Amino acid sequence: MNKKVIIASDSTCDLSPELIERYQVKIMPLTVTLGGNQYKDGVDIDPEAIYKHYEEKGELPKTAAPNITELSNFFGELTACGNAVVYFTISAEMSSSYNNARLAAKNFEDVYVVDTRNLSTGGGLLVVSAAEMAAEGKSAQDIAKECTELTKRVDASFVIDDLEFLHKGGRCSAVAALGGLLLQLKPCIIVKDGKMGVGKKYRGRFSRSLGKYVEDKVGDTSNIDTTRIFVTHAGCDEALYTECVEKVKALAPSAEVLVTRAGCTISSHCGRNTLGVLFIRKS
C-alpha cells in the first residue's frame, strides 16, 4: 500500500489561497529582503507592499531561496507521520531553490524534488497535476517521474507593460528599455529550457497588446490540454484581466480558466501590469 503523498512547493508556484486549500498543497515561502528587513513571500509581505516601497524609495527587493536547514525542517514536519512528499521548485536556472531542496531531501527516504523548469503558474500547473495524481493513489516516486516529463509540455509566457522593473533589476539593458518606451513595445517573456527569454513584441496600448497575445496563445487549441488554463497577473486592473479571461473562455470553452495573482518573486522582476496565459500542451 502506497504512503499518503503530500504535494508541496516553494511559493513561486503562484497558486491562489483557494487552490492551495482545494488541493491541500503545502507552501514553503521564499525570503524577500526589502528596506533592510526580511519577510516571507505571501506570509508577511505581498506585491502591493513591494510596489509601494518602490514608488516611495526607488528600491527593488531581493529574493532568496529557502536554505537547506529550512527545507530539512519543512520536510521533517511533512514526513513525521510517515508521509511521502513531492516538492516542486522554480527552475534551477533561475534560483538555488531546487539545488537546496535536492540536498535537503537526501536526508529523507520518501521526499522527491521536481525542478519545474519554469516559474509562477507554469510550475503551478505541475503542482495541481501532481495533486490530482496523488488523489488517484499514485506513489510519490511515480508522480515525481510523470511531472518531470510533463515539464517539457508546459507553455508559460507573460506580456509586460513597462520595462522599468526588468531594467532596474538588471535583466534589461538601458537601450532596450528606452527603445521599448519610445516604440510602445510590450515584450512577451517566454520560458524555454528553464530560462526566460524574449518572444514576440507587441506594439501599442497594453490592453490591445494583451488581446493580440491571448489570440496568439489560445487561438488554436488543437495542441492545448484544455483541462485548465491559468491567467496570472501582477497588479492588473480587474477589468483588464477579466477581459483576458473572457477571451480565453471564448477561445477554449471547455477549459477551466483559473485566475491568480503573481506573488512577490514575479512581481519583483516584472512589475505591475504583467499578465500571462499558461497551460500544458498535448505534445
- The pLDDT tens digits of the residues spanning 208-243 come to 999 999 999 999 999 999 999 999 999 899 999 999
Domain residue ranges in the chain: 5-30+65-151, 156-281
Q: Which residues of the chain have pLDDT under 70?
A: 1, 163-184
Angstrom distance (rounded) from CA 181 to CA 163: 8
Angstrom distance (rounded) from CA 37 to CA 14: 23
- pLDDT number for residue 271: 81
Q: Backbone dihedral region of 125: left (phi > 0), alpha (psi from -120 to 50 degrees) or beta?
A: alpha
- Whether pTM > 0.95 for this model: the answer is no
- pLDDT number for residue 165: 58
Angstrom distance (rounded) from CA 206 to CA 237: 12
Q: Which fold has domain 156-281?
A: Hypothetical Protein Tm841; Chain: A;domain 3 (3.30.1180)
> Half-sphere exposure (CA, 13 Å, Cβ side) for 280?
21
- pLDDT number for residue 175: 32
- pLDDT number for residue 69: 98
Angstrom distance (rounded) from CA 277 to CA 175: 28
- pLDDT number for residue 162: 73
CATH: 3.40.50.300, 3.40.50.720, 3.40.50.2300, 3.40.50.10170. Which one for 5-30+65-151? 3.40.50.10170
Mean pLDDT for the chain? 91
- How far lies 39's CA from each of 29, 35, 66, 203, 267, in Å? 9, 10, 12, 37, 15
Classify each residue of 78-108 as buried b or exposed e, where b means 16 or more C-beta atoms within 10 Å of its C-beta. Answer: bbeeeebbbbbbbbbebbbbbebbbebbeee
66 φ, ψ to 5°? -60, 140
